[in-house]
Amino acid sequence: MTSRDGFQWTADTGLKAGVPSIGVISPPSNLASTDQPYDVIVVGGGYSGLTALRDATVAGLRVLLVEARDRIGGRSWSSNIGGYPFEMGGTWVHWGQPHIWREISRYQMRNELEMSFDFSRGVNHFQLRTNEGESIMTHEEEDALLAGALERFVNVDGDMGRKIMPYAHDTFHVAEARQYDNMSVQDRLKELSRSLSPNERASLESFLLLCSCGTLETTSFLEFLHWWALCGYTYRGCLDYLITYKFKGGQSSFAIKFFQEALSTGNLSYAFNSPVQTIRDDGKKVTLTTRSGREFTGSRLISTIPLNVLNSVTFDPPLDAQRMVAANIGHVNQCVKVHAEISNKDMRSWTGISYPFNKLTYAIGDGTTPAGNTHIVCFGGYFNHIQPEENVNETKKAVETLAPGNMDIERLVFHNWSKDEFAKGAWFFSPPRLLTTSLEALRTRQGNILFANSDWAVGWRSFIDGAIEEGTRAAMTVKEELGPQNSIRSHL
């Protein structure tokens, strides 16, 4: 099945919209002609929604999934092209992320992981290109360069952040941590300006922008400290948790397991291609109206709508003031993620930074396709102002500029998250002051409406693990409130 989402380019076909994915659901709806009230309506089929509906249906509740897209996965989905999975959004996982590892174990996929990096053959080097020139380093030198810079960057307490954030799942356990939410990473860089070499500065800034895909001025220093703490306060941990282990079959091979289990209970109804217009809570029930005018009612509604999209749906009563303030501010991540399939096999062991002059700044060799080509995954962001589908030649040039003479492009694959109306950006990354003012407000229910999204998880916020954490939390609430004795079905 082919999704409307995503783009691919080859010299033979040119640019084409829509890419194949096993996350596309057919038929797009299993609704009966007459729909009875539901126990729970779940808005959104990303990992938060999939976890919530899976847990609720298994508990015997009658659940309706309403999804705007033609597929599941939300901001984490893969496209299988030529027998190879290209990850369009969230990709990497780790057994140290508790919620996702529970689900990987549940679906017996522990042996379905593989490493992105393979330094066993080929060029086996790191290529740093800056305004001051080019450096070729070993990967050990690459690690030493970035580790040294990162350790100085996060060491605000003399203990690599451990004192200021001793519990990674409690951002504000230490009251003094709040002061760092008033700082951007640019503010912190200014404090270190005399202690960083040009190469350290370029590699550090590139890594920070890879994490936030905002700008240095709009990236919260506190949120980066939170990521650092989650990764065990080490650079090695950042590599392991953030960018090393992925599913052999792609994220959609994992997401489909949640959907299939829920469907097998007989308690799941679903409607894809159904963007939401309004959500109304009269105190007794919640009524959802789609853009096409169709109405559904439920005892509870779980909204997994991302932060940057919340203000595009009308809520009645209106959302509380602080939640709306946060939604209007939004998060900063406008990631540009471009997959390049290149014919140079030696680039499998290559990593590179091309900053600040290139529109794609950070890239790694990420796999080998069945055709024997090298898969390179490249990242840029809002700070570089690139819209890949609007100018494919510019996108090709940005890929080639990462390693001139070595990027012989056979295929490009990507999804434009900035122009995706149901995401308006990629994974969550906070601007300064948003966490301290709004995190708790975003996590609070409003009447019969619960809000579950990785954007406001307390643990791996912005990660797949955080999405599952949030879906679990919401499902537990509705199960406790609507158990078998209180469900719609028990009164029919």
Cα separation, 196 vs 203, in Å, equals 10
Q: Range(s) for CATH 3.50.50.60 in the chain?
A: 2-78+251-330+424-491
Q: What is the CA radius of gyration of the chain?
A: 22
Cα separation, 470 vs 111, in Å, equals 25
Is position 24 annotated in a ligand binding site?
no
Spatial neighbors of 235 by CB under 8 A, at least 6 apart, are 143, 146, 147, 150, 151
Q: Give the three-state DSSP class for 278.
A: strand
Is position 68 annotated in a ligand binding site?
yes
Cα separation, 421 vs 398, in Å, equals 25
Q: CATH classification of 2-78+251-330+424-491 is 3.40.190.10, yes or no? A: no
Distances (CA, A) of 9 to 5, 13, 21, 409: 14, 7, 16, 10
Q: Range(s) for CATH 3.90.660.10 in the chain?
A: 117-243+336-414
Cα separation, 427 vs 429, in Å, equals 7
Residue 475, H or E segment:
helix 464-481
Is position 276 annotated in a ligand binding site?
yes
Phi, psi of 8 (to 5 degrees): -140, 150
pTM metric for this prediction: 0.96
Distances (CA, A) of 458 to 2, 58, 406, 443: 35, 25, 42, 9
Cα separation, 489 vs 485, in Å, equals 9
CATH of 117-243+336-414 given 3.40.50.720, 2.40.50.140, 3.90.660.10, 3.40.50.10540: 3.90.660.10
Tens of each residue's pLDDT in the chain, 492 residues: 999 999 999 999 999 999 999 999 999 999 986 678 999 999 999 999 999 999 999 999 999 999 999 999 999 999 999 999 999 999 999 999 999 999 999 999 999 999 999 999 999 999 999 999 999 999 999 999 999 999 999 999 999 999 999 999 999 999 999 999 999 999 999 999 899 999 999 999 999 999 999 999 999 999 999 999 999 999 999 999 999 999 999 999 999 999 999 999 999 999 999 999 999 999 999 999 999 999 999 999 999 999 999 999 999 999 999 999 999 999 999 999 999 999 999 999 999 999 999 999 999 999 999 999 999 999 998 666 789 999 999 999 999 999 999 999 999 999 999 999 999 999 999 999 999 999 999 999 999 999 999 999 999 999 999 999 999 999 999 999 998 666 555 544
Is position 48 annotated in a ligand binding site?
yes
